[in-house]
Structure 1
Amino acid sequence: MARPRAFDETAVLDAAAREFRVHGFAGTSTEQLCGAAGVRRSSLYNTFVSKEELFLRALRRYVEVTGARQRSVLADESVSGAQRLRDLLELIIGEEQEARSRGHAAGCMVVQSLMDPDLRGRDPRVADILEGDLRARISQLEGAIRAGQSDGSVSRRIDPAEGALLVTTVISGLRVTAQTGTPPEALRSIALAGLAALLLPRA
């Protein structure tokens, strides 16, 4: 009879994601992962086989959790489309503010992975996850932008697909900029400047 695992796999995946999102795949050691998850190296590899498989599962978990959180903001019909976009940026900045209180930036597994072509080239499953995540986020952003165009809070001169790419670019830039030590107040100013092309005055 197999012995029951002594740890919660989901908790380990979340702990691993917290390391990978800040340091990336190459910059995260097995020792860091074991320390963050509170498990022994042998237990980690008995369950997840390799660092690569742990990363893959942590990335899947990360895009599911962050995607659901962002989707709830962008689909909030109780506020205008413009406010949904602002709320999304506040969600990102809030994560960075919390991480800054612990002495580092929040980081992002997706951004880190997109910046690592070797990782994507080595495992096509990583590329598939990233592409699926991008499609989903673009679709959700397009929906919020169209809602804003309908309620008069977002400019109709902006193509929703292009606007969605703009917001995605702003968020990716915020994640990278936060890692330079830029404070949340400055990140917020950058984010709002990025949205200026989309939002109508007093929207």
Structure 2
Amino acid sequence: MARPRAFDESKVLTAVVEAFWTRGYEGTSTRDLVKCTGLNQPSLYNAFGDKRSLYLRSLEHYLECSVRDRIRRLEVLPNAGMAITGFFAEVLNRTLTDPLHRGCLLVNSALEATAEDPDLRQAIATELETIRCFFRDRLLAFSKQSSGAVVIDGCQGANHLLSVLLGVRVLARVSPDPTCVTEAIEIALNNLGLPPLVHSNVH
């Protein structure tokens, strides 16, 4: 019978997320991971595998606690348009309040992914598709709810919103100008007839 782990897995993964999120995969050393988790290297790797496996586990933890949690909370809102606006409002808030300008770990992972790591590329593609489907479904629902919605193919609108989301996340890392990122989001929402950011209660 396996002995129970003498550490909180969620807390360890959260610490690992912070390390990879701040330094990137290549920039994070085993020593960094040992330091941030408080575990020695054998314990860390016995529990989670090698550095790459730990990265994948930490990315999964990040997605479950951030992106997926956000979608679960917002997709049940009665106003489908507010679900999309609320999504971008939360992203904007996180973007503008992060003093390290780290962006989004999912997007950062996409920028670091290589052709030699198909598992990571697939995990990223799957998650981006989840976000795209959220946008598509909420757009289609909003078009039925509101006379002010712009008539557009749901898939096209979702692709546009996903592109704006990714662009804002990348832009915020290198040039975190609040006006620039806010206007990019506001224009995208306005073009689709969605509720403006100022009317969102999700900040």
Per the shorter chain, which TM-score range?
0.7 to 0.9
Is 1:12 the counterpart of 2:12 in the alignment?
yes
The question of whether the paired residues in 2 share the 8 Å contact of 1:22 and 1:107 is answered with no
SS at match of 2:93: helix
TM-score, normalization by structure 1: 0.82
The question of whether the paired residues in 2 share the 8 Å contact of 1:110 and 1:130 is answered with yes
Is 1:177 the counterpart of 2:176 in the alignment?
no
2:150 corresponding residue in structure 1: 155
Is 1:27 the counterpart of 2:27 in the alignment?
yes
Query: Aligned residues, how many?
Result: 196
Q: Write out aligned runs for 1:25-174 (5 A).
A: 25-79=25-79, 81-100=80-99, 104-118=100-114, 121-152=115-146, 153-156=148-151, 158-174=152-168
State the Cα deviation string for residues 40-72 of structure 1 (Å, max 9, x = none).
333222322211010111122222233322313
Q: CA deviation at 1:171?
A: 1.4
Give distance in 1, aligned partners of 2:163 and 2:37: 31
Unaligned runs of 5+ in 1: none
2:106 corresponds to which letter in structure 1? V
The question of whether the paired residues in 1 share the 8 Å contact of 2:172 and 2:181 is answered with yes
Backbone CA RMSD of aligned residues: 2.5
Q: CA deviation at 1:138?
A: 1.3
The question of whether the paired residues in 2 share the 8 Å contact of 1:22 and 1:106 is answered with yes
Identical aligned residues as a percent: 28
Q: Which structure 1 residue ranges, 4+ long, deviate > 6 Å from structure 2?
A: none
2:144 corresponds to which letter in structure 1? S
Give distance in 2, aligned partners of 1:49 and 1:147: 43
Give distance in 2, aligned partners of 1:24 and 1:201: 35
Unaligned runs of 5+ in 2: none
